[in-house]
A and B are shown apart, each in its own frame.
Chain A
Amino acid sequence: MPEKGKANLKKLLPERGAVMEFFESIGGLFDFTMKFFKSVFLPPYEFAEVKKHMDELGVKTLPIVSITGMIIGLVLALQSNPVLARFGAESFLPAMVTLSVVRELGPVMTALLFAGRVSSGIGAELGSMRVTEQIDAMEVTAINPFNFLVVTRVVACTLILPMLTVYVIILAVFGAYIAVVIVQDTTFQLYINAVIDSVRFSDIIPSIGKTFVFGFIVGIVGSFKGYNATRGTEGVGKASTTSVVMASMLIVIFDMVLVRITLWLWPM
């Protein structure tokens, strides 16, 4: 390669430090995840703390997922109707919207919104506790901060996201009904019958199943970034933003893998 080309390529590539930092981060996250699995089954079990986090995380995320869920269903139906009309297949609109929302859009959109709202919050909260020595204070009073702060948050995220996803799917189906009423002449009963007929057990189980994985990712990434924050307030800000980026990336990557596994286990 000519020297000029090499120089241009070098400009395009990230610096060596950034690449190393990325791989160190992935390695650190793997170790952190292993530590979680070692700790999660050991006492003390902080059930009250898990419930408290589930309440907080659910309430925090409810407004944004409610609005987004409703609008996704509505817009998807409005956008799809003209396309289906070209093929004379308008009657498939409820089924198409429902399957799209149940199988893919509902879980992934909810997970990404959840990551944006919750992962950054956990990253900032734990990061702030780390840099102000609150985590050290817990440790010196013979309290296991990992169990109390990390395990409880990750378990809460893992359990609350599937519930939020079911809620988003229901709202999206309802949003789609509004669009169907606008563009087609149908009744609620006919719409609901079409929705129920179109969804099979094998559509719902893998779809909701993968949200447990997404919830886990959001919790573990936010906790990992916050728990290991350094360098004062700058570190807290970094933990907050990088946790959203990392969680969102991992959600998309794991979605791709889980879709492949789902299609292999339950071929359409």
Chain B
Amino acid sequence: MADVIVDIREVYKSFGHTDILKGVSLTVSEGENLVIFGKSGTGKSVLLKCLVGLLTPDAGDIMVWGKRVTDLKPGELNALRLHMGFLFQSAALYDSMSVRENLEFPLRKNYNFTEGEMTAKVERALDMVSLSDAIDKMPSELSGGMRKRIGLARSIITEPKLMMYDEPTTGLDPITTKEISKLIRDLQVELKMTAIAVTHDLICATIIADRSIVLKDGVILFEGKMDQLVQDTDPFLVNFFSPDFIEEETGI
């Protein structure tokens, strides 16, 4: 059995008087692709941000490779982050830098590569996302799908072992959604990454998920394989994954 590399135990998080996460526990094993579903505002992105130390949970433990994220000093947290990648919903490309500079930035700041090595890495990452021609473009010149791909290339350029995707296909057309999802799947196989993806998108999840969980009202409502999830008769899940609408209170 593969090693557990992410272990989240009873995590609580609230903003002001609004409770977002109410005791979420889950594990992710090495090489696994976990997809987290849930309505907007249920804390999916918050959970990811707690995992990388951008947010601090109010209670509970988050262990990554056996290290408690909340206990790490800034230097130790950054050392851990060197093995993680994060694709933001908006791709979060640096507006003032070209595509090449965006991709070189984490390499320049964290490693001692020569210019030649960096160029080779940038070209390889862009080749993986099929955007070699965009190397000298500015982010403002890219379409939504291209921005996502470049964001993905920037995230994988450091060859992370654990990758997190925050709504990787939101706002994209179905064909681009499939392309990006397939790309995520291929990268996971090629780079042997473990991945956690937050999404609303059934197409994306069907392509990339080994296992899925559904968050509702700050707790995990469902955990299992995708085929089990889409066949579940829980009114909330039926509403989420099928064209039918069921009144959740009555189940009709």
Does A79 make an interface contact (CB < 8 A)? no
Bound-state CA distance A190–B247 (Å) is: 93
**Assembly CA distance A178 to B158 (angstroms):** 61
Partner of A136, one of B78, B82, B88: B88
Cβ-defined contact, A132 with B90, below 8 A: yes
* A-contact 0/1 string along B49-64, CB 8 Å cutoff: 1001010000000000
B-contacting residues, A129-147, CB 8 Å: 129, 132-134, 136-144
Which residue in chain A gives the minimum CB-CB distance to B81?
A142
A128: Cβ under 8 A from any B Cβ = yes
Q: List the 9 shortest-distance A-B pairs measured between CB atoms, nearest first.
A: A137-B92, A142-B78, A133-B92, A141-B106, A142-B81, A140-B86, A133-B88, A143-B109, A140-B52
Which of A129, A139, A141 is B110 in contact with, Cβ under 8 Å?
Answer: A141
Q: Which residue of B lies closest to A135 (CB)?
A: B92
- Show 28 residue pairs from A and B whose CB-CB distance is below 8 angstroms, ordered by the A residue: A44-B109, A129-B94, A132-B90, A132-B92, A132-B95, A133-B88, A133-B89, A133-B90, A133-B92, A134-B94, A136-B49, A136-B92, A137-B88, A137-B94, A138-B94, A140-B81, A140-B86, A141-B86, A142-B78, A142-B79, A142-B109, A142-B110, A143-B105, A143-B106, A143-B110, A144-B74, A144-B78, A148-B109
Residues of A within 8 A of B82 (CB): 142
Residues of B close to A128: CB separation below 8 A: 95
* Chain B nearest Cβ from A249, distance in angstroms: 29
Task: State the CA gap A132–B82 with chains docked (Å).
Answer: 22
Question: Measured between alpha carbons, how far is A137 from B86 in the docked complex, in Å?
Answer: 8
Task: State in angstroms the CA–CA spacing of A138 and B54 once bound together.
Answer: 11
Q: Are A140 and B110 in contact (CB under 8 A)?
A: no
Shortest CB–CB separation between residue A51 and chain B, in angstroms? 15
Instruction: Show the binding face of A for B, using Cβ within 8 Å.
Output: 44, 128-129, 132-134, 136-144, 148
Q: Is B95 a contact of A140 with CB atoms below 8 Å? A: no
Tell me, rounded to whole Å, the shortest Cβ–Cβ distance linking A183 to chain B. 49
Q: What residues on B are CB-neighbors of A132 within 8 Å?
A: 90, 92, 95
Known: A132-B90, A133-B88, A133-B90. A139 touches B54 (CB 8 A): yes
Query: In the assembly, what is the distance between CA of A130 and CA of B193, in Å?
Result: 28
Separation of A216 and B58 alpha carbons in the complex (Å): 36
New contact pairs (6) apart from A141-B105, A141-B109, CB-CB < 8 Å: A129-B94, A132-B95, A136-B92, A139-B81, A140-B84, A141-B86
Contact with A along B66-110 (1 / 0, CB 8 A): 000000001000110110101011101111000000000110011
Instruction: Collect the chain A residues with CB atoms within 8 Å of residue B110's CB.
Output: 141-143
Query: Contacts A133-B88, A136-B54, A136-B88: A141 and B158 contacting too (C-beta < 8 A)?
Result: yes
Nearest CB of B to A26, in Å: 22
In the complex, which of the residues A132, A137, A138 has the most CB atoms of chain B within 10 Å of its own CB atom?
A137
Q: A212 CB to closest chain B CB, in angstroms?
A: 27
State A134–B154 Cα separation when bound (angstroms). 13
Which residue on chain A has the smallest CB distance to residue B86? A140
- Which residues of A sit under 8 angstroms from B79, Cβ to Cβ? 142
Q: List, in ascending order, chain A residues with CB within 8 A of B74's CB.
A: 144
By beta carbon, the residue of chain B nearest A125 is: B96
Which chain A residues border B81 with CB–CB below 8 Å?
Answer: 139-142
Give the docked Cα–Cα distance between A133 and B95 (Å): 11
Residues of A contacting B52 with CB < 8 Å? Answer: 140
Instruction: Enumerate chain A residues within 8 angstroms of B49, measured Cβ to Cβ.
Output: 136
Contact with A along B203-245 (1 / 0, CB 8 A): 0000000000000000000000000000000000000000000
Is A134 a contact partner of B86 (Cβ separation < 8 A)? no
List of B residues within 8 angstroms of A142 by Cβ:
78-79, 81-82, 106, 109-110
Q: How far is the CA of A144 from the CA of B53 in the complex (A)?
A: 13
Shortest Cβ distance from residue A139 to the other chain B in the assembled complex, whole angstroms: 6
